[in-house]
Amino acid sequence: MAGYQIIKWAQGPAVSARLNPPNQLIRIPDRSSFQQVATLLERERLIRSRAAFVWMGRLQSADRKIQAGEYELNPSMLPAEILARLLNGQVVLHPVLIPEGLTMVQIADIFGQQGLVDREELLRLMKDPAFIASLGIRADTLEGYLYPDTYKFPKSVRPKDVLVTMVEHLRQVYTADFHARAQELKMSQHEVLTLASVIEKESASNGEREEIAAVFHNRLKKHIPLQSDPTVIYGLPNYDGNIHKKDLLSPSPYNTYRISGLPPGPIANPGIQSIRATLYPSDSRALFFVSKNDGTHQFSSTLAEHNQAVEKYQKRPFRRAGHPRT
């Protein structure tokens, strides 16, 4: 009878739910034995008895079936509930927000800052030819193929799994209709993502993406250089926050002031709106646009109109403020 009472006691929660104990984050190291897990849970006062927990685990053949990772547990949980959570691998998932328009370096920075994966290993894989080829991608890097969204990953996630997840998400949103439309435009997916990344960096206003896309499509058809500052910036090894005249003369393959056509690859990772705008631009005949300094742009069809817009929105405000243009 006494033994039965002890077992019943050991199978109860470590702390009564009426005391409203806080949740605890517990990390189960990789390759931990069941004995080690039970010892950890007892030490953290999440179970009453290590021996009773080990006995319960043996009944379920749980040894070596515990999945490593970070778990959120509560002392008011029954040991059986804790065991089920560990066996099912119900690890804590950490949200990671990847905004549109970030470069792969900036994406690696975010993951590194959150302590989910090693930043340098993530960057290495983003440039690893064998790994990129294993994803079915024909490109030098994964720039442009890492779809921006909010993801949830466990602390134990492998860098490869992070990148596979992001690339697979792109495949889901880049539908068969998009592939068909790209063929109509005589563009490969790589070219679509490249142009979409430029549009992403050029457009602060969602309502202008299709218009900006039209400008770039019109210039490509007429073999006019895109003359996009963001592409120049991407090709600079040390960008100091300002584009200088020498930068516009640099021989970089991303300098769209000097080269015709698209740069060799994406300059950032575009979202669905920029991808859609690339595939379905407006019917505008505009060839130029200039910032109005309020997040929107003035679009022009002729060089004369464009020069007037530059005078109005760029040069004149600088003169009023007493800043000489260089």
Question: What's 74's domain CATH number?
Answer: 3.30.1490.480
Look at residue 316 in the predicted model and tell me its pLDDT.
64
Q: Could you tell me if residue 291 is inside a domain?
A: no
Look at residue 6 in the predicted model and tell me its pLDDT.
59
Give the whole-angstrom CA distance, residue 232 versus residue 32. 51
User: Is 199:212 a contact under the CB 8 Å cutoff?
Assistant: yes
Look at residue 4 in the predicted model and tell me its pLDDT.
54
Q: Do 64 and 111 share a structural domain? A: no
Give the whole-angstrom CA distance, residue 253 versus residue 227. 12
Q: Do 118 and 30 share a structural domain? A: no
Instruction: Give me the half-sphere count of Cα atoms (radius 13 Å) on the Cβ side of residue 229.
Output: 12
Q: Do 237 and 158 share a structural domain? A: no
Q: Do 200 and 129 share a structural domain? A: no
Q: Do 146 and 79 share a structural domain? A: no
Q: What is the DSSP letter of 325?
A: P
Q: Do 199 and 141 share a structural domain? A: no
Q: Could you tell me if residue 13 is inside a domain?
A: no
Structural domain span for residue 124: 94-173
Give the whole-angstrom CA distance, residue 294 versus residue 306. 17
Q: Could you tell me if residue 194 is inside a domain?
A: yes
pLDDT per residue over 62-74, tens digit each? 777 888 889 999 9
Q: Which of the residues in the chain have pLDDT under 50? A: 1-2, 320-326
For the chain, the domain total comes to: 3
pLDDT per residue over 229-260, tens digit each? 999 999 988 887 788 888 888 889 999 999 99
Look at residue 40 in the predicted model and tell me its pLDDT.
94
- The mean pLDDT value of the chain amounts to 89
pLDDT per residue over 168-183, tens digit each? 999 999 999 999 999 9
Q: Could you tell me if residue 326 is inside a domain?
A: no
Q: Could you tell me if residue 214 is inside a domain?
A: yes
Look at residue 317 in the predicted model and tell me its pLDDT.
57
Q: Could you tell me if residue 272 is inside a domain?
A: yes
Q: Do 139 and 220 share a structural domain? A: no
Q: Could you tell me if residue 309 is inside a domain?
A: no
Residue that terminates a domain, selected from 108, 141, 173: 173
Please, which residues have CB within 8 angstroms of residue 229's CB and are 6 or more apart in sequence?
A: 243
Q: Could you tell me if residue 227 is inside a domain?
A: yes
